[in-house]
Amino acid sequence: MDDYIAIATLNDYIFCPYSIYLHNVYMDTDEGMYKATPQIKGTLVHEGVDHKTSSTKKTDIFSIHVYSDTLGVSGKIDVYKTDKKQLIERKNNLRKPEKKIIKQ
């Protein structure tokens, strides 16, 4: 899957196209040199998801790897709530998402 585009990269591009350049230039250096505090906090939040320490509900599935051969993308779903059929993107600070994001 080396030829696949990471879904996180697409998210970064939507947020700031220049960030793709910065991530690639500084890839092999200490993340503390180029990551802002919110990004570091976000990384810590995702560690809870990766280690499945965020919830004890049996209906919550964590860290699901997904890919599409058709689209050439791969990524990971943070949390899938099977009882609600709902995908959850974990963030450090929660706020009501915009309507355009909910429709995605």
Domain of residue 93: give its range.
5-103
Domain tally for the chain? 1
Q: What would the mean pLDDT of 96-102 be, rounded to a whole number?
A: 53
Q: Which two tokens stand for residue 29?
A: 């250096």
Average pLDDT for the chain: 76
> Which of 36-40, 50-54, 84-88 ranks highest by mean pLDDT?
84-88
Q: What is the model's pLDDT at position 104? A: 45
Q: What is the model's pLDDT at position 100? A: 52
Q: Are 52 and 62 in contact (CB under 8 A)?
A: yes
Q: What is the model's pLDDT at position 56? A: 66
